[in-house]
Amino acid sequence: MADTFRKLLHYLRLVPRRRWLDILILFIGVLAPLFLFGELAEEVLEKEPFAIDRPILLFMQQHATPLLDRAMVFISEVGSIRVLGPCALLLAVYFIIRQHWARLVYWVLAFGGAILLNMGAKQLFSRTRPDLWISIAPETSYSFPSGHSMQSMAFITALVILAWHRPALRPWSVAGALFVVLVGLSRVYLGVHFPTDVLAGWTAALAWCTGLAFVLRRRLKVERKLGKAAKAGGPR
């Protein structure tokens, strides 16, 4: 047993540091979110209520103000497909013009795929929306998972992954994360989603975009290298 353990430790030391980073990213970005989504989905399918949903919704309703109403409606609208959709389309057009085909494929699959997955999940789980009060921004479709939360998370996650190789842009990921949180918060504040709907949307989109990045990472890496080589060999 001791000899086997020593061999295992020796093998683990031989694993490149880069591979350990890949494993950590896979765990944080794919496995953990999928596990959490699975736990939430199981309870929803079994029609089991979540202990956190009602208290959080009531807390939001009790602290509502006219100013917060306007702010949350605005944030919710910014996180909707009516705003994010055209933004995603503009970025896709940019990739086409620049002939960044790998980035285009990833972007379309990440954002578009998240929307399609959300539509399918809503029909599968058929969870009705909260009805604790009449919302100032009512919705009629199913509740689980939150579409706004899922598409905003997919938009920002995919954007961060595509821009991560540029250190100067990395600080903007904090602003992106704040935007995602605010969109999810707005949906709960408006009473059109349970907190667990929002959490499910976040985890599903994060797992989808991170997993997709791992599948396409070789193509993305080659395209970035070719872009750098083209810039280096350009006119001086």
**What's the mean pLDDT when you consider all of the chain?**
87
Residues of the chain above pLDDT 90, percent: 64
Residue 19 confidence (pLDDT) above 80 = no
Report yes or no: 107 and 95 within 8 Å, Cβ to Cβ.
Answer: yes
Average pLDDT over residues 40-50: 90
Confidence of residue 12 (pLDDT cuts 50, 70, 90): very low
CA distance 231 to 50: 54
Secondary structure of 3-51 as H, E, C letters: HHHHHHHHHHHHCCHHHHHHHHHHHHHHHHHHHHHHHHHHHHHCCCCCC
What's the longest Cα–Cα distance across the chain?
69
Can you give the pLDDT at residue 176? 94
CA distance 213 to 210: 5
**Predicted TM-score (pTM) of this structure:** 0.86
Exactly one of 10, 63, 100, 148 is catalytic; which is it? 148
Confidence of residue 236 (pLDDT cuts 50, 70, 90): very low
Residue 148 annotated to the active site: yes
Average pLDDT over residues 194-217: 94
Average pLDDT over residues 92-96: 95
Query: How many alpha carbons lie under 13 Å from residue 203 in its C-beta half-sphere?
Result: 21
- With DSSP H G I counted as helix, E B as strand and the rest as coil, what are the percentages for the chain, rounded to 5? 80, 0, 20
Residue 10 annotated to the active site: no
More confident residue, 157 or 29: 157
Hey, what amino acid is at 61?
Q
Can you give the pLDDT at residue 73? 96
Hey, what amino acid is at 223?
E
